[in-house]
Amino acid sequence: MEIHIKIIGVLFIALALSHLTFPKYFKWESELESLSLINKEMMIVHTFFVALVVFLMGLLCVGWSDELVNTEFGKVISLGFGVFWFLRLLIQFFGYSSSLWRGKTLETGIHILFSCFWFYTSFIFIYNFLSS
């Protein structure tokens, strides 16, 4: 189980760092231009904090996988992570319009990849919580 949590941790760190590319990739300079200052800054600040939380989750998984697997408190943290990422999995299907990816090769591949990742992540954490 520890190896799965370490793998997830490395992937979380990579995901967090990928947020650095969002402004350029999603053309935020032009796309957010019409937003009010508060909405524009909220988008940027919230993206930073999402990335920070995912990065810190990754560090916890990489550095303290033994504690997550072998302590009662670690299992409770795993339950919280499992619920969090399960909700993220649901958002993948019910929070985003399928028109964003359906019929588009790259976007469909990314949708499938992340759906599998959110499933794997939530399954591992919830299974860890439930295991003795």
> Per residue in 42-80, pLDDT tens?
999 999 999 999 999 999 999 999 999 999 999 999 999
For residue 97, CA distances in Å to 15, 38, 43, 45, 100 come to 22, 25, 19, 24, 6
Please answer whether residues 92 and 118 qualify as being in contact, where contact means their C-beta atoms are separated by less than 8 angstroms: yes
Q: Which domain holds residue 33?
A: 1-69
73-106: pLDDT as tens digits: 999 999 999 999 999 999 999 999 999 999 999 9
Does the pLDDT at position 16 exceed 80?
yes
Same domain for 60 and 1? yes
Same domain for 54 and 9? yes
Same domain for 82 and 48? no
pTM: 0.92
Same domain for 45 and 109? no
Residue ending a domain, among 19, 34, 69, is: 69
Does the pLDDT at position 8 exceed 90?
yes
Predicted confidence band at 132 (pLDDT cuts at 50, 70, 90)? confident
Same domain for 59 and 92? no
Same domain for 36 and 11? yes
Same domain for 61 and 87? no
Question: What is the full DSSP assignment across 113-129?
Answer: HHHHHHHHHHHHHHHHH
